[in-house]
Amino acid sequence: MNEVGLDALRDKLDNIDNELLKLINERMEIVHQVGVVKAHSGGAIYRPEREKAIIDRLESLNNGKLNRAAIEALFLEIFAISRNLELPENVAYLGPEGSFTHQAAEARFGAMSSYVSISSIKGIFREVDTKKARFGVVPIENSSNGIVTDTINCLNTYNLKIIAEVVLDIHHTLASTCDKIEDIKRIYSKDIAFEQCRKFLSNFGLDEVEHIPIESTTKAAKIAVNEPGSAAICPHVGAKLHNLPILFENIEDKDNNKTRFFIISDFENGQSGNDKTSILVTLSDKQGALVEFLTDFNKVNINLTKIKSHIVEGNSIFFIDFDGHKDDENVKKVLSKYDGNVKILGSYVKEINDI
């Protein structure tokens, strides 16, 4: 294509960009008007069920090159910008900066939000409970390592609500300033990351070099960028944060390693039509109590997607996920029977059935 033809295409792109800017500003004006109405009515600014409905509608209208993931990436950022123009969002997440939890937070709240790295899950709950942060992002389970007990304990202790879930594919990179693998003399990472990448390390002879466990994969990248002859196993975002060159992507042994995160806050969601509810259940010690409880769900066609038992403060409790919203009639019918035995942790838009 000659330069004249290329210039014409660039002019078209410029005109489209100009129109996009105009339309986005118009959208922000309407968002502001909605925010004024919500401020008077006491409505929450962040409505995950509404955002999902918008993305579903746009996907149904889409006949171009964008897939659903691209539509979500574009519009979740627009949604986040819209919320931040009305009321800046403080989001507490399990640190350090560059962790997978940080990545999950940014995936939902975008680049404009204010992020606070907290060193413990209990600390995140405390930040949200005292309203120092509007939202908290905490891990709840990993497909390889199971349920995060600290999160269950805090859900039991604090009267906060799960308002959304985020599911991330967990990928590790090998990052180093070394140009060649044979120049790597030591590798920094978390114990669990070494375990998850055992086959890769063995295949490339890196099981013979020194493995140095530290408390976070992001810190591993920070050390490796300043130490000749070293490397880090870390997330892509951690390597990028510390300008550490990536030698290999996706080095984990399993290609289906996922972590599920909860977003917590102090409000409840409305019904979206595709909801999941999480509860904590304490049952009596009588024989068959759990079977009776589960049978009641089955009688009204509620699909249970997860049942995990835990010991909290010496008491046996069950963490349960099921399809549906707490305000659905069939759900209310069951839960009313066990009033006093059930703590409703939150109803939220379902991202995935299980991991």
Identify the bridge partners of residue 343 per DSSP, sorted by sequence position.
280
Q: What's residue 42's pLDDT?
A: 52
* Number of domains, the chain: 3
Residues 281 and 296 placed together within one structural domain of the fold? yes
User: What is the C-alpha separation between 325 and 100, in angstroms, rounded?
Assistant: 28
Query: Is 91 a residue whose pLDDT tops 70?
Result: yes
Rounded to whole angstroms, the Cα distance separating 344 from 355 reads: 21
Do residues 74 and 148 share a domain? yes
Type of residue at 62: N
What's the whole-number mean pLDDT along residues 222-236? Answer: 95
| Alpha helix positions (H), the chain | 3-41, 48-61, 68-86, 100-109, 121-129, 149-157, 191-196, 198-203, 217-224, 236-241, 289-299, 329-337
Has residue 40 got a pLDDT over 80?
no
Compute the distance between CA of residue 180 and CA of residue 253 in angstroms, rounded to an integer.
22
Same domain, 59 and 149: yes
Nearest to 104 by CA among 167, 173, 150: 167
| Residue in the block written with tokens 């042994």 | 253
For residues 332-351, average pLDDT: 92
In this structure, the answer to whether residues 54 and 187 fall within a common structural domain is no
Is-contact 191 198, C-beta < 8 A? no
What's the CATH number where 74 sits? 3.40.190.10
Identify the domain containing residue 307 by its residue range: 276-350
Q: Please list, in sequence order, all residues whose beta carbon lies within 8 angstroms of the beta carbon of residue 50, skipping any fewer than 6 positions away.
A: none
Indicate whether 287 and 146 sit together in one domain.
no
Query: With 90 as the cut, is the pLDDT of residue 331 above it?
Result: yes
Q: pLDDT at residue 347 above 70?
A: yes
The answer to whether residues 195 and 103 belong to one domain is no
- The pLDDT of residue 2 is 67
